[in-house]
Chain A
Amino acid sequence: MLQPRALEGIRVVDFSWVRAGPWATRWLGAFGAEIIKIEWPETERGRLPSSTTPQNLEVNLNTSGNFADTNVNKKSLSLNVRTPKGLEVVKRLIALSDIVIENFSSRVLHKWGLGYPELCKIKPDVVYVSMSGYGHTGRNHHYTTFGPVAQAVSGLTHLSGLPGVPPAGWGWSYMDDTGGMYGAMCALTGLYHRNKTGQGQHIDQAQMVSSIPLNGPALLDFTVNGRGSNRAGFPPGNRAHWPDKPLVNNYRGPTVAPHNAYRTDPGGYNDWCVIVCQSDEEWRRLVQVMGAPAWAAAEKFTTLAGRLQHQDELDAQIERWTLTLDKYAVTERCQDAGVRALPVQSAEDRVENDPQLRHREMYLPMQHPALGTHKVQNAPFKLSATPAVNHLPAPLIGQHTQEIVEGLLGYSHRDLQDGFDNGIFWPAQRARFPYLEDMIR
């Protein structure tokens, strides 16, 4: 059953917390790297506060559902790096590792005595990925971000919404997810480069900066044509163009109509389906799917220019039809006829109702020692020779401290026990979970 994994033998020292950094190392772990998450219960951010603990469980460091999904494929070393002994332990670990990754503010690792020059002394070819808000250089390097702030400052928020009202923005930290992507992409790229050349390096990834290349065509429209995005009719909601406004591309693809979300039966909060016709031919197919209603034969709807100009009426008429069917039925009828349509799906829809995600085994159950058995999100890529699979549930805090400290680093069991008593591996005054008591027996 053991299949080779792409990053077999690669070890990652993971100082990351909250979301963006852990989302990065989740994928390195899925590829088979050994991820050693350095945590300290007093200053931990990611396990607590938890709004995703199941209703029947106590909220504690080990019961956040979102943490559990974000941190599969990792081990946890509980360690106070702010003590001389803790620093010594982490340095021994770095010496045996390939990648160091963190998403602190720009000067934190440096203050700990673990800046890139120091890392190089410990491990000359280390790949060091820092995932900060604004990067390690530039006058605003000390500024801080959450996903929504990076999205606002970079222009991503402005591109989402209806014209003439406040931006709708992104309803979650898109740049925590995507910042995590860039962290993992940088680590893999740095690792490939090291394997080819023997050279490590410091990669300075910044959440706010990584957002900006996602606005490329909008930026070129300004730098090349002088046209800004602060203009009438922009952003055009779900449409490709807002009627009665200048016909300008909106940076999502071709300017076509219909191109919108439509209510479906039974009219609940997420009962919507999107339909897009990218050509006259696709429009004619949609007309047939709708039963060739008389209104659709009007000359104004037979041309793209007419459909763009009369979108309000067009959308209202299409919605009269979509309201007669549920969103999956609209999807199936349209797609069977070669018309672009898909349902708006909530998380519940994706996990329970999406036949494609079910077929692809996107959510498979996994057992977690504190949470029980729950579905965990899988990888969106299938590698034929080295499948990326979830192989470890998210760690309990400090769960692998003994394995790493004694097994990997060669400290004695007595060292481990002492470290628990004097605040190196667990705060001296803090109650220990039973598995930690077992560990130091």
Chain B
Amino acid sequence: MTGPLAGLRVLELADEKGQFCGKLLGDLGADVVKIEPPGGEPCRRVGPFLDDVPHPERSLSFWYYNTSKRGITLGLESADGRSLFRRLAAAADVVLETFRPGFLPSLGLDYESLSEQNPGLILCSLTPFGQTGPWRDYLTSDLLHMAAGGEMASCGYDEADVANASPIAPGGGNAWHMGCHFAYMAIMAALVHRTMAGQGQCIDVSIHEACALTTESAVANYIYRGEVLRRQTGRHHAVGVTPRTQFRAKDGTYVTALIAGGLNPKNVANLAALMDKYGLAGDLKDPKYQDAAVVTANALHIIDGVLAHFIASLPAEEVYHAAQERGFTWGAVRAPEALLEDAHLHDRGFWKQVDHPELGRSFTYPGEAAIFNGSPWQISKRAPLIGEHNVEIFCEELGLSRGELSVLAESRVI
């Protein structure tokens, strides 16, 4: 079976801002051709590196974000480069680009001229602020987007945990993920429209706006009630202080333990049953807790006393599974590497072995976000080496001779 996007040709001209979107398209079956500048995309210089040896073919970050793509090198600054790009764009379904606004038009590669030869073309520009506005040309980074988008204003610490803490930007490069998710949606909507109307279009996606949309109710709290929320350790931003939900387990890691619907006699009885299995129910079996008023009056004792002690007495994974089996929506706070041991993920076939034939090795990669039962979402191949598919694309597809390819390489067009 082929992926749901089989048959789709995507040209990706993307750096750290858009490479994840290209990966999504590629892993879902599209033929994504990554066009890198001669010598390779600068993201190849971002670590960590294989065996900590820095090299453009050893960036694990580049590996991860560029699976299921083919790769060619092509500089757009030369007339030869632009001409080759035009030929590729004439046969493409989607062009994804993350250049600064105005760059492609300055080379004569604006949507109008590209779509003249290919009216079905979808051109998606994914940029920090979109194509217009006073901040359009501002420089950014993941951290900058997490600040202006509002993520940092919602993340941080209780005063008791870290006095005077700054707002905290969660790690992992998620500003780029947020932009790529919205870009992917917009591209797919345009593609669906094209299946019905036949026409392509251009799309202007703003990473800043994507981030600004990704803080759950913070904007609604302000718009409807004028409230500005405060940061708390390991739990939701809130107007006032809410009970803590992150507790240290015996092994030094943490458990996220929320009581759905808040404390009441029924929940306390369930908690007592869960903890009693380990002889750790404290006084929660006392019939007095069948009285809602008594539960409310003793909330601090129940949460910060009995519950915290229960979690502190057991490994986090044990608390997590025991609680979930009893219907509590709790989770162990895991380091990513702990996921390799997760039996549920193995049942779902989540981890994928990806061959790196040039190294004679294969490595375990995280797989797909969802299971497509009719057309699989799955990694088809490792990230391309620099210019790996130049011959395939320029010679076999566009019909250039090996001699012409050599000339282009000598003049650094490819």
Contacts and interface: CB of A to CB of B under 8 A. Distances in A.
Interface in B367-384: 367-375
Contact of B331 (A69, A149, A195): A149
Interface in B175-201: 177-179, 181-186, 188-193, 195-197, 199-201
A135 B267 CA distance: 26
A163 to B, nearest CB: 11
A70 B216 CA distance: 9
A141 B206 CA distance: 36
24 contacts: A6-B192, A54-B224, A55-B225, A149-B331, A157-B234, A169-B235, A169-B256, A171-B229, A185-B188, A192-B192, A201-B375, A203-B373, A217-B60, A217-B61, A219-B365, A221-B48, A238-B168, A252-B171, A335-B135, A344-B147, A347-B215, A347-B228, A360-B129, A380-B182
Given A189-B28, A261-B152, A340-B144, A254 B46 contact: yes
Interface string B154-188: 11110001100111111111100111011111101
B339 A255 contact: no
A40 interface: no
Contacts of B406: none
Given A201-B375, A209-B369, A351 B219 contact: yes
Contacts of B172: 156, 159, 214-215, 217-218, 251-252
Nearest to A249: B47
A160 B171 CA distance: 5
A339 B248 CA distance: 40
B209 A222 contact: no
A221 B60 contact: yes
B401 to A, nearest CB: 35
Interface in A318-362: 335, 338-351, 354-357, 359-360, 362
B162 A165 contact: yes
Contacts of B193: 4-8, 385-386
Contact of A193 (B47, B320, B365, B375): B375
Interface stretch (B275-283, B286-294, B343-351, B391-399): B343-351
A4 B188 contact: no
Interface stretch (A82-90, A292-300, A371-379, A411-419): A371-379
Contacts of B343: 139-140
A98 B131 CA distance: 34
Interface residues of B, number: 157
A134 B150 contact: no
A196 B195 contact: yes
Contact of A189 (B4, B46, B48): B4
- What 9 pairs between A and B have smallest CB-CB spacing? A201-B374, A65-B224, A380-B209, A249-B47, A155-B336, A160-B170, A171-B154, A188-B188, A193-B4
Given A189-B188, A252-B142, 18 more contacts: A7-B189, A68-B220, A69-B223, A140-B344, A150-B331, A165-B162, A168-B156, A174-B216, A203-B370, A205-B369, A238-B168, A251-B173, A263-B166, A274-B146, A339-B139, A356-B134, A381-B183, A385-B199
B231 interface: yes
Contacts of A378: 209
A146 interface: yes
A215 to B, nearest CB: 4
Nearest to B180: A181
A395 interface: no
Given A356-B135, A360-B206, A65 B171 contact: no
Contact of A8 (B147, B196, B199): B196
B385 interface: no
A177 interface: yes
A228 interface: yes
A379 B183 CA distance: 11
A327 to B, nearest CB: 9
B109 interface: no
A429 interface: no
Interface in B298-336: 320, 324, 327, 329-336
Given A172-B236, A185-B184, A261 B370 contact: no
Given A192-B192, A223-B364, A169 B169 contact: no
A171 B232 contact: yes
A47 to B, nearest CB: 13
Contact of B48 (A248, A263, A339): A248
B336 A342 contact: no
A238 B166 contact: yes
A118 B156 CA distance: 47
A225 interface: yes
B258 interface: yes
Given A138-B344, A238-B166, A272-B167, A144 B329 contact: yes
Interface in A154-202: 154-162, 165-174, 176-178, 181-182, 184-186, 188-193, 195-197, 199-202
Residue among B142, B166, B350 with the highest chain A CB neighbour number at 10 A: B166
A322 B129 CA distance: 24
A181 B217 contact: no
Contacts of A359: 132-134
Contacts of A371: 224
Interface string A222-250: 11110111100001011000000000111
Contacts of A291: none
